[in-house]
Amino acid sequence: MKWFRQWAQKSPWILHYNAGSCNGCDIEILAALGPDYDLERFGVLNRGNPKQSDIFLVTGPVTYRSRERLVELYTQIPEPKVVVAMGACTATGGVFRGMYNVEDGIDTYIPVDVYIPGCAPSPQLLIDGMAKALEIWVQKSRDIEKPHRLFGGIRKTLHYLDRRTMAQTLAQSKEKEPQ
């Protein structure tokens, strides 16, 4: 029930990207978001904007034409973020593996946190994958907040999570320390 408690507190927004899928996986995503499975009741919203998303949900084998956009979208999603690879094609290339226009899997380009197996994975498997993704997202959020807890002074000056500013402030505070 841990995931349920986390879902009661967090509403992870997802960015869905089709990197060359046959649309089988994408239809299952729509089914999971629809009234039958109603993933949205947990606050899981499918956003079209990477800057508002927490979970990057990718379907299909990564084709040569889609790989640049894949990496670009990944870099635009703010930290902490979780990447979910849905379906056999995303993980390994699946039935498209070895084709002239396809790489072997998504992890050739970006790091993956959760793999959802199947062709196409059922909505139940997708919900299970989302629960795992949420657990990882909560852990990553804690890891980012840890320096704030360790250095109380910094927490007073920073009102938002920004790794670069945090690193700069840490470096400045170290410079000021007596040798």
Whether 46 and 32 have beta carbons less than 8 Å apart is answered as: no
Least distance to ligand SF4, CB of residue 97, Å: 10
CB of residue 106 to ligand SF4, shortest distance in Å: 12
Nearer residue to ligand SF4 within complex by CB, 82 or 120: 120
Supply the minimum distance, in Å, between the C-beta of residue 93 and ligand SF4: 9
Closer CB to ligand SF4, 102 or 166, in the complex = 102
Residue with tokens 């999603």: 77
Half-sphere exposure of 129 (CA within 13 A, CB side): 26
Q: Closest approach of Cβ 105 to ligand SF4, in Å?
A: 12
Footprint of ligand SF4 on this chain (CB under 6 A)? 21-22, 24-25, 59-60, 87-89, 94-95, 119-120
Q: Which C-beta is closer to ligand SF4: that of 15 or that of 25?
A: 25
Q: Shortest Cβ distance from residue 125 to ligand SF4 (Å)?
A: 11
Of 60 and 123, the one with the shorter C-beta distance to ligand SF4 is: 60
**For the chain, what is the largest distance between any 2 Cα atoms, rounded to a whole number of angstroms?**
64
Instruction: Please name which of 60, 74, 10 lies closest in space to residue 2, comparing C-alpha atoms.
Output: 10
For residues 76, 81, 84, 89, the Cα torsion angle rounded to the nearest 10 degrees is 30
In 65-137, where do the E strands start and end?
82-86, 114-116
In terms of CB distance, is 25 or 133 closer to ligand SF4? 25
> How many Cβ atoms are within 10 Å of 126's Cβ, its own excluded?
26
